[in-house]
Amino acid sequence: MSIYAISDLHLSFGVDKPMDIFGKTWQDYEKRIESNWKEKVKENDIVIIPGDISWGMTLNEALPDFKYINDLPGKKIILRGNHDYYFSTKTKLENFFKQNNLDTIYILHNNAIDIGKYILCGTRGWGNTEGTDKALDKKIIEREKIRLKLSLDEGKKLQEQNNKDIIVAMHFPPFISNYQEILKEYNVKKCIYGHLHRIWTIYD
């Protein structure tokens, strides 16, 4: 079993928001992702998708994007990004997945998941420059710290059972506020993050 990570898919099969307005790099990127995914990922592999998955504003608008992901090989674990506006609660999302037979996608939100070699924890995170309201940014950052600790506490419980290393997935890089200090506190040595639209990491 291999563990892959890819973020910021920015899918828009259910809404009119094509990504190729940002340049040629995005032209037919969904087909290229699908082709490379099917070439590399096997059914028993895990793919971590840390946020910015769909431009859909509602779950129904995001449904074609989730169907696209669900039909790809592997077990997918998603967490919320700053553009995942459809995301309200984990329970609503899980119920929606169940109702629509989306059975290969799992949600990381205030919880931890045993993924074989590792225990996966994580949260969205936040950036200091996401909005003009600095007080609101600070409030969100503090809330995300709490979510990260909740997830890591759940991870520690799983770790007591099998002594596996914990890895963390975040949408935003952990280089702001004291997210890094939290990772050090919980002895986390690896963190996967997105948001920057750069190279993804593969864990074998």
CATH of residue 145's domain is 3.60.21.10
What pLDDT score does 27 carry? 78
pLDDT digits (tens, 9 = 90+) for 163-192: 899 999 999 999 877 899 999 999 999 999
User: Domain tally for the chain?
Assistant: 1
pLDDT digits (tens, 9 = 90+) for 129-160: 666 778 888 899 999 999 999 999 999 999 98
Q: CB–CB of 155/122 below 8 Å? A: no
State the DSSP code for 204: -
> What are the start-end ranges of the E strands in 71-164?
75-79, 105-107, 113-114, 118-123
Q: CB–CB of 193/50 below 8 Å? A: yes
Which pTM was predicted? Answer: 0.91
Q: What is the CA radius of gyration of the chain?
A: 16
- Which residue segment(s) compose the domain that 66 sits in? 3-203
Q: Residue 85, Cβ neighbours under 10 Å: how many?
A: 15
